[in-house]
Chains A and B, each alone.
Chain A
Amino acid sequence: MNVNATDNALMAAVGAGEVQKLAVLFERHHRGLFRYFVSMSRNRELSEDLVQDVFFRMLRYRASYDAKQSFTAWMYQIARNASVDQAQKRKGEVIGIEEFTERRADPAAGPEQSAMLTQDLRLLRQALDRLPADKREILVLSRFQGMKYEELAGVLGCEVGTVKVRVYRAMRALEQAYLTISGEKTA
């Protein structure tokens, strides 16, 4: 059984009243959701609140979940809605943008290689942060969450073909941002 099928079955069980099974889904997905919210808002506290909000909404709307639908896609639809509602609630408020100290990416790699890798990844991370929200979002969802383009089409409300075009454009924009930042660093 693949992971998604299990997720779908779990959420269907939650919908049918076995709400305690949501704990399994929480353990599997709360970090991924947190990274998504942090990538989009760059605010840790806000992201933690949003993670809570998403799981609470899953409980509230559990009966509306259709087991034929990808759980991941459903979850990120809820996540996007939660994000939009939160932004409206905080309209006018200044949300603190945080600089996170990156963790070392790959402790298994040798020290020299690891230092290079960390440096490259820091640039890549900064490049990602500079992208417009829609481009950043599509890359985070497809690359961090490993969502298939079909699932992304469901979450973003567009055709699969459009998703591919948008992924391509986002990658090109990322490359541009990466080159710009590299240029700034070496200049």
Chain B
Amino acid sequence: MNCDVARHNLPEYLSESLSEAQELAFASHLATCDACRAETERLGSLWRGLALLPGTFPEPAANVRDRFYESLAAYRHGMESAPTHGFREKLAALWPRQPAWQMAISFALLAMGVGVGYELRPASSEVAQLRGEVSGMRQMVALSLMQQQSAGERLRGVSWAYRAESSDTEVLSALLSAVNNDQSVNVRMAAVESLHAFGASPVARTAIVQSIPKQTTPLVQIALIDLLVDLKVSEGSTELKRLSSDETVDASVRERAKWALGKLLQ
């Protein structure tokens, strides 16, 4: 060890954070170097003195403690009396109204997506965490868009949902709700399309079958029937049989149900 290295290690020597080997090397250098030994003694004495200085400082006034406890109590009171918002409202509140911010979030998501894609090869916990974050962001974007007033925004939400994890029950229930309740045919159609990603979910499969008779538009009913075929939902055959023989059902729907039945029973 030379004098430069010794000076570099001096702060750690003083704070007793050198490794045993480093401390040994430091001590051996001091044994041979008068200048470094003298400096270590001088600075060491000041260093020890510094540790005693806090005792010479004044104490904070007693009202510092009173003021703190008052603020803490006020804060807790504020927390308790604040209205608790539901999860959906919180998500919707997170989504900015300004297009510029919406764009910024979209770009951030895109960048995160690219990052994840790049990192996917070595499967590490960091990547898993990033994937989790991206999936969480997608869920947030999808759910908040689906809350919007404009059908166009909801449509975008539904298409975001297509990118969500197939195990995401929050997004699934939002999609099913869109299929069953959204006023816009376009949104309902797009939601049916997005349900393709949830083919493995028993909840989704049952809900798709149950949704067909609830629909008022033949177009959506046909899209749902096609979905049953695509996902090979054989549990839907009873409902398809009923549809194909129900005279009150639209003719094109009946015909499609008959066709689907043939496909599913193949």
Contacts and interface: CB of A to CB of B under 8 A. Distances in A.
A167 B69 CA distance: 36
Contacts of B11: 142, 149, 163-164, 167-168, 171
Contacts of A120: 49
Nearest to A102: B56
Contact of A100 (B7, B15, B57, B69): B57
B48 to A, nearest CB: 10
A6 interface: no
A143 interface: yes
Interface in B44-65: 46-47, 49-61, 64-65
A100 B46 CA distance: 21
Range, interface on chain A: 35 or more
A106 B46 CA distance: 16
Interface string A11-29: 0000001011011001000
Contacts of A122: 56
Nearest to A44: B58
Interface residues of B, number: 36
B83 to A, nearest CB: 16
Interface stretch (B72-80, B137-145, B205-213): B72-80
Given A23-B69, A148-B17, A171 B49 contact: no
Nearest to B50: A143
A143 B7 contact: no
A48 B60 contact: yes
B71 A121 contact: no
A88 B219 CA distance: 64
Interface of A: 17, 19-20, 22-23, 26, 30-32, 34-35, 38-39, 44, 47-48, 51-52, 55-56, 59, 100, 102-103, 105-106, 117-118, 120-122, 124-125, 128, 139, 142-144, 148-149, 163-165, 167-168, 171-172, 174-175, 178
